Each structure stands twice: as C-alpha cells, then as structure tokens.
Structure 1
Amino acid sequence: MATIINKTDTEEVGLHVADYGSGQPVILIHGWPLSHKSWEQQIPTLVDAGYRVIAYDRRGFGESDKPWSGYDYDTLAGDLHKVITELQLSNVILAGFSMGGGEVVRYISKYGEDNIAKVVLISSIIPLVKQKEDNPDGVPPEKLEEIAQALKDDRVGFLKGFHEQFYGVDKDPSAVSKGQLDNDFIIASQAAPQATVKAADAWANTDFRAECANISVPTLIIHGKKDATVPFESAGQQASLLIKNSLLITYDDAAHGLNVTHAERLNSDLIGFLSTQ
C-alpha cells in the first residue's frame, strides 16, 4: 500500500493505492460509492495470472484524501494520470467498474492512448446514464433527482438500502450474503458526504457519447441484462456500438454488481481478454 500525491496549483490530494504482483499493469477503478476493496474477488486471480494489479481509492472514498471539490471527471482523470505517471507505467490495461468507466474514457480523451494497451468496461456508466430524448433507455431524470435529494437528506439511510438493487437482492434474496451488504454499507458510509453527492452528480449527468470515438485500443464491455442501476440498453449495448474496437459480453441473469455475484465468470472473461494478443 502506498499514497500517491497529486499536487496541482490549487490542491494536494493523497490517493491510497494498492499495488500487487508484477508483469503487465492492470489498473482497477472502482464504482460509486465504494473503494478499491470492491475488487476483492478479482485482484487475486489477476495477480496469480501474472499481472501487476494496481487498485486505488478515488478521492473522497476509501482511504484517499477527501477534499471538498474535484469530483468532476476531468479532475478524476487527472488523478488516474498521476497514478500512471508516478508509477512510470506503460502498456497499461485500464478496467473501470460502473462510475470508473468514466475515468477510463475521460483519461483517453485528455491524455491519449500512448500508454494504454486495452480497456475493460464492467457494468459501466458509459456512455450516458440519464434518459434524454435521444437516450430513451436511460434512467429518468426524476429518478436521478430522487437519488440526489436522498443523499442530501439522509445519506446513510439511502446507502443502507442501495446495494440491494445493486446486487439484485430485491429480486433474489440469495444473490449475496448479508455480510456482503453490511460490508458495502460500512465502506460507502465512510466516504465523504460531499464526495458521495458530487461524484453522483458526475456519473448521472456526464455525457461520454462523443468521447467514445477516441477509444481505438481493444475494449471489452461486460454488462448484465438485469442491471437496474445502469440499464444495459443505454450503457453496455450503446457503448459497444460507439466504441469501434469493442467486444460485448452480456450476462443474461446479472444485476449491476456482477463483480461479486458472477465473480468466477467475470474473472475467466477478464483473463481470456487480457491474455489475447
């Protein structure tokens, strides 16, 4: 474990970074509102397969510093850039889960693909979450407004029940254990309140559709057909049409948190894609 300091003219933010193994680097970028610990079931498999696995806590979450601002995707992509440059990484595989897909796409838009070998988007918010006239399958604006208001009114109350839909427990009570739900609540509740609110605004309202054209490296997109958090039709399905060099794998029975509910299958698909020349 290490702390990488991203220092700019206006701030200095410490990012908590886990760095395991050796070989080609794989950077894992976690979803909202969790931390790098959400990759618990992927990290050992990737390390055992011969990869160097780097997973960091987004600013405001986990054990990273919690500044008042900087939760827009430009700033978050800057944090990712600092991790890559500080560790002097090249030939990197970027893997973003849910909100983490936004850092991946914005990073490539801002910094290019010179250091990037492949991209993986898992249950990702790419390209656009919000329902619009030209994005009819997205999440209705009023639903996103309800989430934003709930976070302001009773953040921990909202987070207590959030992961039931996340894992599909509302439809299948056996999807994950109560311990998993409790663990996620503990991690999510300890994130900074301002980070939780402002990061939610970023993933709910940022439109990445035009930026998808910037990705030319091989890209794996994995999305669950039963994802009620980030709908498949507006996310994984649409992303596969916008990213030209992409492979879409759908999990017909998976909700959003398939990194836990379908960990074995996901790990197999990841290794298969990462090991392909």
Structure 2
Amino acid sequence: MPTIKVKDGTEIYYKDWGTGQPIVFHHGWPLSGDDWDTQMMFLLKQGYRVIAHDRRGHGRSSQSANGHNMDTYASDVAELVEALDLRDTIHIGHSTGGGEVIRYVAKYGKERVAKAVLISAVTPIMIQNENNPDGVPISVFDEIREGTGFHRSQYFWDFTTAFYGYNREGAKVDEGIKHNWWRQGMMGSVLAHYEGIKAFSETDLTTDLQSVNVPVLVLHGEDDQIVPFAQAPKATKLLKNGQLISYPGFPHGMPTTEAETINKDLLAFIKASS
C-alpha cells in the first residue's frame, strides 16, 4: 500500500489517481479516505488528479498512540503534500476533515493551495463555552466518548442513522451505506477515535478561518444532525473569500446520500475563475 512515514514514525496511507490539477480529500471522523469514493471517481473522470489519505489512527494508517489533535492532523497533511510535491491544489474536507483543511491551509498551505471546500464542517468551533454560548454542550461529546470508547461496534452502527438522516420520515435507508460507514469506522483505532472527539469538538478554528485568503466554498445541509447548520454561516462570515451553499433537508453525510448535487456544486466551484 502507498504510505509515507511522517516525522514521528507514523505511516499515513494514501491513494493517488490520475493526472491534472490535484484535489486532496480529507475525511470525517471516524472514517477513512474511502468515504470519498463517489467524489474521487466523479472528479477523476473530469480530468483531475485525486488524492485521499487515511488520517493517523484511521483506516489503513498506523494506529499511533499520539498526535490525535488538529495540529498534528494538519502537520501530517503538510508532509504528504510535500512528499507528493502538490501545487495549485484544491483541498476538500468533510466534518472533522473540514477542520483539518482550514488548519492546514492557514498554517502550511499558502504557497500550494488554490482553493478549499468545507463540507458539513466543524468550523469554527462546536463546543458550547463562554465564547460560543449557542454551541453543543460537552455532555453530547461525553456521550460520544462513552459510546466510542467502550461500546464502539454497536454505537458506530447506531450512529449511521442520524449521520445519514435515516431517522427522518420518508427516508429511504440504504443498508449498504450503513455497512460501509461501519466498516470504515471499525478499521481504525479506538484510541484515535476516542481522542479525536476532543479534536473535532474543542478546537477553535476562528483565527485559521480569518487568515485564509484563497476562495473557500462552504457546503452544509440544513438538516445536519451531527454538526448543526448554524456552524456554516459563522464560518463563512469569518472567511475573507467565502461562499455558502445550504441545502434544505440534507443530512450530515450528504456527500454520499446526495452525491449528484454535491458533485455538481464542487465541479462548478473548482472550474470557476478565482
């Protein structure tokens, strides 16, 4: 399997297909690069080079004991981008991957990034605190920690229901999608998933958003039950060159359940002049 070894010895798995302008995909918690299959196939057929990695502790990457925080996630991406010598790159992140994208672009990507996309992203910060009074209470994340750390197999299976909006009246449940989500989650390290909850819920990405100059597209479903839609307008307002597209009724996992719509909007943004 293609991997790079980053500075602390962790091996990061990636897949790299095609030629042309590179597009790097950053997956959500607790998944892997496989969650981008539909987008990668679509954009590969459009003539782009598509790359997706498994975050440390996720998928096929090393189950490292350390580094399960947004700074290390971004550092790992920087090492991958440098190893592949990617330039004029578009970075697309879903959920936790959106936080990873904006931290990477802000800290490392100014010379190499053309555009970025944040889909159902955790930006600017999820947790409720003094500076974010309408955020999500820590009790919610404590419940996710308990389920992930000590009842992971059943908890992950149950988690797919809200993730894809399958608990909504009239929803057409795709059992294959649920199984694929569970498969990806169970491939990874329980420790990485447990510690990653703090990373995606408590990392404040306000300054990162404010510092990014490249065009950034923000996509968010208005019926997102995992990362509340209210995150999206906040993030967009902090960006210097941000654009928001919202989707009534779309769930958190909309890149999978609503791939036709999402792919069309991604391609339009990628092709648009800056």
- Both proteins in one fold, TM over 0.5: yes
Judged with a 3 Å threshold, the aligned counterparts in structure 2 of structure 1 residues 38 and 218 are, in CA distance, closer, same or farther, namely same
Residue in 2 aligned with 1:268?
Answer: 264
SS in 1 for 2:206: coil
Comparing 99-108 and 242-251, the one that deviates more:
99-108
Matching of residues 149-164 of structure 1 within 5 Å: 149-164=146-161
Are 1:4 and 2:12 an aligned pair?
no
CA distance in 1, matches of 2:48, 2:263: 13
Q: TM-score, normalized by length of structure 1?
A: 0.95
Which AA in structure 2 matches 1:122?
I
Matching of residues 206-225 of structure 1 within 5 Å: 206-225=203-222
The aligned length equals 273
Which AA in structure 1 matches 2:245?
I
Residue in 1 aligned with 2:145?
Answer: 148
Residue in 2 aligned with 1:257?
Answer: 253
Structure 2 gap segments, 5+ residues each = none
Cα shift at 1:108: 2.2
Matched-pair contact (CA < 8 Å) for 1:15–1:58: yes
Cα RMSD, aligned residues only: 1.3
Which AA in structure 2 matches 1:3?
T
CA distance in 1, matches of 2:226, 2:99: 16
Residue in 1 aligned with 2:103?
Answer: 106
Cα shift at 1:173: 6.1
SS in 1 for 2:87: coil
CA distance in 1, matches of 2:270, 2:55: 24
Cα shift at 1:114: 1.0
Which AA in structure 1 matches 2:90?
I
Cα shift at 1:51: 0.8
Matched-pair contact (CA < 8 Å) for 1:128–1:205: yes
Cα shift at 1:112: 4.1
Cα shift at 1:172: 4.2
CA distance in 2, matches of 1:4, 1:172: 45
Pick from 184, 188, 192 the counterpart of residue 195 of structure 1.
192
Judged with a 3 Å threshold, the aligned counterparts in structure 2 of structure 1 residues 37 and 173 are, in CA distance, closer, same or farther, namely farther
Give % identity. 38
CA distance in 2, matches of 1:30, 1:127: 17
Matching of residues 37-52 of structure 1 within 5 Å: 37-52=34-49
CA distance in 2, matches of 1:255, 1:174: 11
Pick from 160, 181, 184 the counterpart of residue 181 of structure 2.
184
Pick from 85, 98, 120 the counterpart of residue 82 of structure 2.
85
Matched-pair contact (CA < 8 Å) for 1:25–1:52: yes
Residue in 2 aligned with 1:64?
Answer: 61
Q: TM-score, normalized by length of structure 2?
A: 0.96
Structure 1 gap segments, 5+ residues each = none
Residue in 1 aligned with 2:168?
Answer: 171
Moved over 6 A (4+): none
Are 1:117 and 2:121 an aligned pair?
no
Which AA in structure 2 matches 1:5?
K
Are 1:205 and 2:202 an aligned pair?
yes
